[in-house]
Structure 1
């Protein structure tokens, strides 16, 4: 008799038990996914609180200009790229519970230290260290999710996971609007209250406020984020593609061979994925940093500007979910990605052409629309890549692909920090918008190319399969 009620070694009959499958799915939907979503929201709050701080006079308080802010953000994204792969090597050795939980604790604390910034050097150093601390979180969390869902289920779950990022981006300006009203209280500026708010969510009651959000999130992850047992199999997939590796999933102790990373990187057929990710995602970087400042330049107060920015960011959530639903409904993920990018491109073109000729509220509406549509494609694009990782080393290839895609997205964000320059700020960045239009157009072309590549590859596979059947007959 087994006291732990575990299946004996070598016994796999439990893997298709509907009760086991149902239990695993409930754990995934009501424990794993919500915990990672909340952690992602905390991650994004700590990363983007600077956009609200800028409307509170942060740049002038530490004597830096907009171009220096751009450099600081570049250094942050560079830190993410530098430690992306080492971070995930650690994740695969010790498991997501301890590594992801520890990361949330660490980067929250570092983000909080921004309250002590006094000059340009302190700003650049703090942003660099923040990026190093955040490295590996997104691909690690996405891989953790892939351990719990079938390929038919993963697209919508990844979209929900990204609600954490987009939700954090949406909530950030609202928190900023509230905290900026504390300007002057306790001899602190409004921007310092913003960073103090993030500090509380970070790490310790030593730096007080009214909550301990991120430390609560980190300890919740450390205590309650479940690990997959070594004997447990993926949930049953009704339409598992031929060649899928069905070996048991055990995150802790697994490794990503350097050979697999090199092979994935040199797989030319996947390059359009990587390049499209960098091109389109680059345009989100200036929007998250400068939209509150842009709206403030329309004549709104700093508190109003942050509150109004949240509207476009909130609209991102139904946009993302709609495209995820469309992707699952049609099973045409590549086409869905292209439609989402096309809609965003049209919004950018309208903003660039119409903006000089309309009044304040129309300008606000145009910028809000662009923010709402800027990332509707992104979760589906990530899922599309995962669902086309087919090889004898399926799991390792999928992990390496996730890491490279996130690194490309981060590289795009790093480059995108320089799109909106201080000298282009008059007229609401007309040159920057042209650059964004060009990047999104290039991303659309690359996505279409990737769809063609998959079509050709799938046609070849189907032809070989038919010939094999005929030879057998």
Structure 2
């Protein structure tokens, strides 16, 4: 266990003041060019994945003659596609390079998202959702790998948290864009839901052009060599992260899966993140069923997603201030669990505005834990393979979560589904506590044996 990260307080590799000053031009390029481009790509990635929620309020399901269970199945197939090509996609990344591979991915899933305007039946829907998932596979770990080539391990954790603003920002903007685009219903012979798929897919294509044009690459060499970028050349002591130079081999994947000490991370990610899947798909429809128009329902649904952003900032700030990542992750999960329990308990007894408020609170706190948890995981990742497995566990949770809200209880606002969500969040909370204990014991063992931590 020698030369191991201190699991509870974060990474210990520091850049000295002279190196940090020397690397500032590279750091500026990473912070003001690389990171924003990847965040933007993540935002359109999430738009194309979740805009079905707004499309449903525009009559998409009835237009193609499918029910809610088919919508769930389509989303499940989409997430399955992500999992199937997650690791192969990153093997290609190592050979092609981030600029071309990431840009190609964004372009392809943008085109596929746009082509959803031609969906007319159940078969077409299931097919396009499956292909969309295959096209999106690998974007998240590919982007995180790219960031790892620009930052030290200590710097990387904060940038990963910022990177996830793309995901949650995309989720926040999606209902607002949906509300605006639904007003185009009937224009040009297209329904409102068709305008949503078409224009948001085109946005992804535009972003792919920005990525291929502006995203710089860093060529990783050996630890003894310097690292070169498009515009700078600096020594490896400034930014080199040894895990960035490793390929995602089957051996790495097997070692990651068999490392039982990190299973609580994987399982907790899957359990809690599973509960976000039905929220992103059905919150606008739930609000519309309370008697609101489709445009107002989408606007109201955006409030909870917008609240997510300051919630994430608060918990990220608290995590950095206290350096107790595990404890802050548990606190964030508890803050999500409380409105979830209240919603399940009082929803049948309150009016529509109170229900809107409760659903808004649940959406606002649903993912406050995730960037901090992900950063905590990144501190302890030793290879790109581990990052891929983490993303796969989150995607597996989302895939399973698509079936939480079922059509047979939609009229009652999903009491069984909410109970399942509560149980999953409790399991996730227990697993995070277990992971914290594992790290505490391992760090104590390292300290007692005189090993470096």
Which of 425, 430, 442 lines up with 2:427 in the alignment? 442
Structure 2 counterparts to residues 303-318 of structure 1, below 5 A: 303-318=295-310
1:370-385 equivalences in 2 (<5 Å): 370-385=362-377
2:184 alignment partner, SS class? coil
**Which of the residues 209, 215, 219 maps onto 2:209?**
219
2: CA distance, partners of 1:423 / 1:107: 32
SS at match of 2:109: helix
Unaligned runs of 5+ in 1: 1-13, 202-213, 238-245, 469-473
Distance 1:307 1:448, change over 3 A: same
For 1:199-252, what per-residue CA distance to the aligned partner results, in whole angstroms no more than 9, with x for missing partners? Answer: 322xxxxxxxxxxxx222112111221111442256748xxxxxxxx666766x
Q: SS state of the match for residue 445, structure 2? A: helix
Residue 228 (1) aligns with residue 218 (2): yes
Q: Which structure has the higher relative contact order (CA within 8 Å, separation 6+)?
A: 2
Q: Which residue of 1 aligns with 2:29?
A: 27
Shift in CA distance, 385/145, structure 1 to aligned 2, threshold 3 Å: same
Give the structure 1 partner of residue 449 of structure 2. Answer: 464
Q: Is the 8 A contact 1:278 1:412 kept in 2?
A: yes
Q: CA deviation at 1:45?
A: 0.6
What is the alpha-carbon distance in structure 2 between the residues aligned to residue 221 and residue 20 of structure 1? 27
Aligned to 1:341: 333
Preserved CA contact (<8 Å) 2:107 2:208: yes
What is the TM-score when the length of structure 1 is the normalising length?
0.87
Please give the alpha-carbon distance, in whole angstroms, between the structure 2 residues aligned to 1:428 and 1:236.
53
Q: Does 1:279 align with 2:279?
A: no
CA distance in 2, matches of 1:250, 1:93: 13
Aligned mates of 1:347, 1:155 — CA distance in 2:
29
Query: 2 CA distance for matches of 1:406 and 1:18?
Result: 30
Per-residue deviation, 1:385:
1.1
Superposed, 1:9-48 pairs within 5 Å as 17-48=19-50
- Provide the rounded CA distance (Å) in 1 between the counterparts of 2:170 and 2:442: 38
Instruction: Give the conservation status (yes or no) of the 8 Å contact 2:20–2:238.
Output: no
Whether the 8 Å CA contact 2:161–2:374 is kept in 1: the answer is: no
Match of 1:87 in 2: 89
CA deviation digits over 1:69-117, x for unaligned, max 9?
0000000000000000000001111211111011100000001110000
Does the residue aligned with 1:426 lie in a helix, a strand or coil? helix
| 1:400 counterpart residue number | 385
Is 1:411 paired with 2:401? no
Once the two structures are superposed, what CA deviation does each residue of 1:110-162 show, in whole Å capped at 9, x if it has no partner?
01110000000000000000000000101111121122223333333222111
Distance 1:103 1:247, change over 3 A: closer
RMSD: 1.8
1:358 matched to which residue of 2? 350
Equivalent pair of 2:269/2:428 in contact (CA under 8 Å) = yes
Residue 205 of structure 1 corresponds to none
Normalised TM-score (structure 2): 0.90
Partners of 2:403 and 2:244 in 1: how far apart? 41
Q: Any residues of structure 2 matched to 1:114-153 within 5 Å, and which?
A: 114-153=116-155
Aligned residues: 425
Compared with structure 1, are the counterparts of its residues 234 and 123 closer, same or farther at alpha carbon in structure 2 (3 Å cutoff)?
farther
C-alpha displacement at 1:17, in angstroms? 3.9
In the alignment, which residue of structure 2 is the partner of 1:166? 168
Q: CA 1:258/1:303 → structure 2, altered by over 3 Å: closer, same or farther?
A: same
The answer for unaligned runs of 5 or more in structure 2 is 1-15, 228-234
Following superposition, the deviation at residue 453 of structure 1 comes to 0.3
The residue matched to 1:180 in structure 2 has which SS?
helix
In structure 2, C-alpha distance between the alignment counterparts of 1:247 and 1:50, rounded to whole Å: 38
CA distance in 2: counterparts of 1:441 and 1:141, whole angstroms: 30
* Partner residue in 2 for 1:97: 99
What CA deviation, in whole Å up to 9, does each residue of 1:173-205 have, x standing for no partner? 11110111111222221111111212322xxxx
2:374 is the counterpart of 1:426: no
Counterparts of residues 69-84 of structure 1 (less than 5 Å): 69-84=71-86
Distance verdict in 2 for CA 1:46–1:290, change over 3 Å:
same
* Compared CA separation, residues 235 and 290, structure 1 to 2 (3 A): farther
Aligned counterpart, 1:270: 262
In structure 1, distance between residues paired with 2:373 and 2:187: 45
